[in-house]
A and B are shown apart, each in its own frame.
Chain A
Amino acid sequence: MGEWKVPAELRYAETDEWFAVDGDVVTIGITDYAQDQLNDIVYVEFRDPGDSIDAGDSFGEVESVKAASELYSAVDGEIIEVNAALEDSPEIVNADPFGAGWMVKIRAEDLSALQALMDAAAYDAYCDSR
């Protein structure tokens, strides 16, 4: 249907979050496809830094003019930072979903869960199939 950016170095969940790994810190955001589907994002809310989180748990929610969606982590760990700039300017997620629009950083207990996620080619095909 459309053309979406799918950076090669990231891992992707079926719920349209991306995961970037740096040491034991995992940065999470939503994909270009997700922001395009959601349309103009008007509100984001995240759990607090210091909260521990299990894989499959929601770490926050994102709301657009079309819909509200939960955001899910694929790893167990502790939230160490959230992107506070998005609180006043959630439209950054639309403009730069893989850069300035990152959402939370989690210190992961175990990175192996990321292996079960999609790589860029698989996620690209997954978006095309929808």
Chain B
Amino acid sequence: MDGLQPLIYDIGAPGRIGVNLPEPDVPEAELPTELLRDDLPLPEVGELQVVRHFVKLSQLNFSIDKGFYPLGSCTMKYNPKVNEDAARLPGFAQLHPLIEEAGAQGALHLMYQLQRWLGEISGFEAVSLTPAAGAQGEFAGILMIRNYHLDRGEGQRDIILVPNSAHGTNPATVTMAGMRVRELPSNDQGNVDLDSLRAACQGELRDQIAGMMITVPSTLGLFESTIHDVIDIVHEAGGLMYMDGANMNALMAVVKPGELDFDVMHYNLHKTFSTPHGGGGPGSGAVGVNDKLKDYLPGPVVDIIEGEDDSGAPLYGYVMPEKSIGRIKAFQGNFGMHLRAFAYIRVYGDTGIRDVTRYAVLNANYLRAKLMKTYKLPYPRYCGHEFVLEGHFDDVEEVHALDISKRLMDYGFHPPTNYFPLIVPEALLIEPTETEVKEDLDAFVEAMESIAEEARTQPELLLNAPHTAPVRRLDEVRAVKELILCCAPALPAAGD
């Protein structure tokens, strides 16, 4: 337990009071005795103890505000503080979600504008902001594809093609939607294998193809150089194309998926558009669609329901699209994230957004070019916003990607993504994002080079890492098999 903090339940004392409440100004009433309980121990601590407790806990954590966080496929980008200023404006922060539309015109205008900007950035006709995060955006997208086929009398189309480099959420989404997954292999360039795709789309299953889910750039960080062929082959078979927008940070304001002829995609506002991610969430997985699917969007979407009044302002309202798959999240989705994404796009503007993409791709290629001298690069191509290395050395068998990652923590860096994508052995998926400066990228390269050297000279430094973190090497097997995470029940109060 060295370096860890006691639970707040363990630092109080009976009768210690943190806040003096004022005398009640209403008549006191007795609570019904059956509702009273004496088995509910609450922490009894002073305000200063509470502050110190939570500040210490926050210091045990690692965040992008504290250091480099190159967690590939997650786009752990910096969350600009101006977003937080916007989110705390009382007109937004104190808005009740059940308020009449007429009383929330500022918020509705913001959502309307964000829908249009996201549509513009991706080249799509219409956008719904309601999905709660990426996986729910995927789910909405696949339900839209399913309903599209059902409406055309083609309900037998229930196969979604998924490349073997896909995020695990893609096949999970297909299964959740009651459809079937067919996995496609990748070729030695890291692209979808076109022969396998043609075989699936032109063979006996042709009439059962509902569509394809694909991430661009792929989870290998590589642009699908045959994407036009992929899309044409699936469309010719009657399927629709879903783009997993997790890697949109390599495309923004440079490539529009709608213009590539994708039919639907989801955005991760918590990746690409800088809203908090992971434990700092919640996420937001807006979906964009073309003309074929716009009537199926999950609702409500925000639209102008009355033209401009005397003051020149239109009236915004909530609208359910004509054939909507329905509501998939309470209220309007995670509005606080819409607000932050709006602020992000507004602050950067169109040329700034393009610079975000360019710097993200430049930073990733800089690291790739430096690190490929020390680590094996399985796909030696220019990358998008991330790239994958193999975290092992032919001459040091016992060292694995996990050991390299754990050792990086000792150097003050968050480890990259491990063991994903699955098609690369000992994968280390590295994504620096656009906001890192050259000095910090160079420091990461130096750490990775030192670790490669240590692997050969002092491998135990890697195998026993981390040495400086609050807890040492975790027992991952035990963590997966023993799922009881609660602390022991508190002891009965003294005297019981």
Contact = CB atoms under 8 A, between A and B. Distances in A.
Interface of A: 1-2, 37, 40, 42-43, 65-69, 91, 130
A42 B480 contact: yes
Given A1-B397, A2-B397, A68-B168, A42 B477 contact: yes
A67 B476 CA distance: 12
20 contacts: A1-B392, A1-B394, A1-B397, A2-B397, A37-B425, A40-B476, A42-B477, A42-B480, A42-B481, A65-B476, A65-B477, A66-B418, A66-B419, A67-B419, A67-B420, A67-B422, A68-B168, A69-B422, A91-B477, A130-B425
Nearest to B392: A1
A68 B418 CA distance: 14
Contacts of B394: 1
A43 B397 CA distance: 26
Nearest to A3: B397
Nearest to B481: A42
Contacts of A68: 168
A2 B399 CA distance: 12
Contacts, number: 23
A59 to B, nearest CB: 16
B201 to A, nearest CB: 18
A86 to B, nearest CB: 13
A65 B422 contact: no
Interface in B464-478: 476-477
A37 B392 CA distance: 12
Interface of B: 168, 392, 394, 397, 418-420, 422, 425, 476-477, 480-481
Nearest to A67: B422
Contacts of A66: 418-419
A2 B400 CA distance: 12
B77 to A, nearest CB: 26
Q: 5 closest A-B pairs (Cβ-Cβ)?
A: A42-B480, A65-B476, A66-B419, A40-B477, A67-B422
A62 to B, nearest CB: 13
Consensus secondary structure, chain B interface: loop
A67 B424 CA distance: 12
B477 to A, nearest CB: 5
Contacts of B418: 66
Contacts of A37: 425
A69 to B, nearest CB: 8
A63 to B, nearest CB: 8
A37 B397 CA distance: 13
A65 B397 contact: no
Contacts of B480: 42-43, 65
Contacts of A42: 477, 480-481
Contacts of B477: 40, 42, 65, 91
Contacts of A130: 425
Contacts of B422: 67, 69
Contacts of B476: 40, 65
B343 to A, nearest CB: 38
Contacts of A91: 477
Contacts of A65: 476-477, 480
A55 to B, nearest CB: 16
Contacts of B425: 37, 130
A78 to B, nearest CB: 22
Nearest to B418: A66
A65 B481 CA distance: 10
Given A42-B481, A67-B420, A68-B168, 19 more contacts: A1-B392, A1-B394, A1-B397, A2-B397, A37-B425, A40-B476, A40-B477, A42-B477, A42-B480, A43-B480, A65-B476, A65-B477, A65-B480, A66-B418, A66-B419, A67-B419, A67-B422, A69-B422, A91-B477
A68 B394 CA distance: 25
A130 B9 CA distance: 52
A37 B418 CA distance: 13
A66 B423 CA distance: 12
Nearest to B394: A1
A40 B474 CA distance: 13
A65 B422 CA distance: 13
Contacts of A40: 476-477
B166 to A, nearest CB: 13
A67 B397 CA distance: 20
Interface centre among B394, B418, B419 (most CB of A within 10 A): B419
Contacts of B168: 68
B473 to A, nearest CB: 12
A38 to B, nearest CB: 10
A91 B226 CA distance: 42
A130 B423 CA distance: 11
Contacts of A43: 480
Contacts of B392: 1
Nearest to A42: B480
A91 B478 CA distance: 12
Contacts of B420: 67
A68 B316 CA distance: 47
A40 B194 CA distance: 35
A43 B477 CA distance: 10
B417 to A, nearest CB: 12
A68 B175 CA distance: 16
B336 to A, nearest CB: 33
Contacts of A67: 419-420, 422
